[in-house]
C-alpha cells in the first residue's frame, strides 16, 4: 500500500526544482498534493500535470509566503477540502552577496521568505493538525546554515534559523501529536547548482566525498521518510543530505 494514500500533503515552493520533485514523490505514494507557488504559474502547471500523471490529485494554490493573510487564506482553502496531514516548508529565495555589499532590502526579503515564511505556513496548518491530534511538518534548510558559506550571508542566516526553529517547534508541538523535523540538502543538480559557474561548480564538487551533486529526488525521499510513519519516533532532527559536504 502507498505510504500516503488518503493523506493530504501541502508543499510550498512547488513550481519547480526540489519543490516539484517533492510534490511528485508524494503523489506517487498516493497523497493529495497542494502545490504552493508564488509567481511561476506556467511552471506550477507543469508540476500539476506531473502530479496528475501519477493518478493522484493535485491542487494549485498561489500565494506569497511573506504575506500572513494570504498564507492563512490559501492554506485554509486547501485544508477545508480534506485536511492537511503533512506540510513541507520548501519555499526559498537567494540573494547572493558579501555582507558589505548586501542591501538591507535584499537581506529582509531572504529572511521574509526563507524563515518568516516557515513561521507563517506552520501556524496556518496547525488548526487542521490540532483537530486531528496528529500531523507532520518538514522544513527544508541547507548546509549553508550549518557551515560558512561566504557570499550567502542572508541565505545562511535564514537557513540556520530554520534549523533552530525546527528544534523548538518540535518540542512545543510533539505533545499535540505533531512531529517536526528538517532536511538539510547540500548542492543539488537543480536550483543553485544549475546556476554555478563551471569553475565554481568543479570546486564545490571536489569538496564532496561522493564527488557529485545531489539529485532532487534523493532529497525528496528523505523528506518522505521523515513524513512517514517509519519516522514516528523522530522529532526535532535535521537530516543532512549532502553527499558528505558538511563532514
Report the pLDDT averaged over residues 113-126.
Answer: 98
On the question of pLDDT at 197 being above 70, the answer is: no
On the question of pLDDT at 110 being above 80, the answer is: yes
| pTM score above 0.75 | yes
On the question of pLDDT at 44 being above 80, the answer is: yes
- Rounded CA-CA distance 4/10 in Å is 12
Mean pLDDT of the chain: 94
Q: What Å distances lie between residue 61 and 97, 120, 181, CA to CA?
A: 31, 15, 24
Burial class (CB in 10 A: 0-12, 13-18, 19+), 135: buried
Residue 233 is among the residues annotated as catalytic for this protein? no
pLDDT class for 203, splitting at 50, 70, 90?
confident
Q: pLDDT > 90: what percent of the chain?
A: 84
Report the pLDDT averaged over residues 34-48.
Answer: 97
- Reported as a single tens digit per residue, the pLDDT across 47-103 is 999 999 999 999 999 999 999 999 999 999 999 999 999 999 999 998 988 999 899
Which of 37, 119, 155, 233 is an active site residue?
155
Shortest CA distance to 125 belongs to which of 74, 58, 64, 181? 74
Q: Which domains occur in the chain, in start order? A: 8-234 (3.40.50.720)
Amino acid at each position: 500500500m502507498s505510504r500516503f494514500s488518503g493523506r493530504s500533503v501541502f508543499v510550498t515552493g512547488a513550481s519547480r526544482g526540489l519543490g516539484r520533485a517533492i510534490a511528485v514523490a508524494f503523489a506517487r505514494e498516493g497523497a493529495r498534493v497542494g502545490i504552493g507557488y508564488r509567481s511561476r504559474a506556467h511552471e506550477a502547471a507543469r508540476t500539476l500535470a506531473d502530479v496528475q500523471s501519477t493518478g493522484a490529485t493535485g491542487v494549485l494554490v498561489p500565494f506569497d509566503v511573506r504575506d500572513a493573510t494570504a498564507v492563512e487564506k490559501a492554506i485554509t482553502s486547501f485544508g477545508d477540502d480534506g485536511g492537511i496531514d503533512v506540510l513541507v516548508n520548501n519555499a526559498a529565495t537567494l540573494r547572493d552577496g558579501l555582507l558589505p555589499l548586501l542591501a538591507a532590502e535584499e537581506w529582509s526579503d531572504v529572511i521574509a521568505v526563507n524563515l518568516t515564511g516557515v513561521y507563517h505556513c506552520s501556524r496556518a496548518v496547525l488548526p487542521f493538525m490540532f483537530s486531528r491530534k496528529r500531523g507532520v511538518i518538514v522544513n527544508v534548510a541547507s548546509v549553508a546554515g550549518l557551515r560558512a558559506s561566504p557570499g550567502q550571508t542572508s541565505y545562511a542566516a535564514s537557513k540556520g534559523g530554520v534549523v533552530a526553529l525546527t528544534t523548538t517547534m518540535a518540542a512545543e508541538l510533539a505533545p499535540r501529536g505533531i512531529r517536526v523535523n528538517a532536511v538539510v540538502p547540500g548542492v543539488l543538480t537543480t536550483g543553485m547548482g544549475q546556476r554555478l559557474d563551471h569553475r565554481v561548480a568543479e570546486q564545490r564538487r571536489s569538496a564532496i566525498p561522493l564527488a557529485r551533486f545531489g539529485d532532487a529526488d534523493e532529497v525528496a525521499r528523505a523528506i518522505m521518510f521523515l513524513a512517514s510513519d517509519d519516522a514516528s519516533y523522530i522529532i526535532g532532527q535535521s537530516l543532512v543530505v549532502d553527499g558528505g559536504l558538511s563532514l
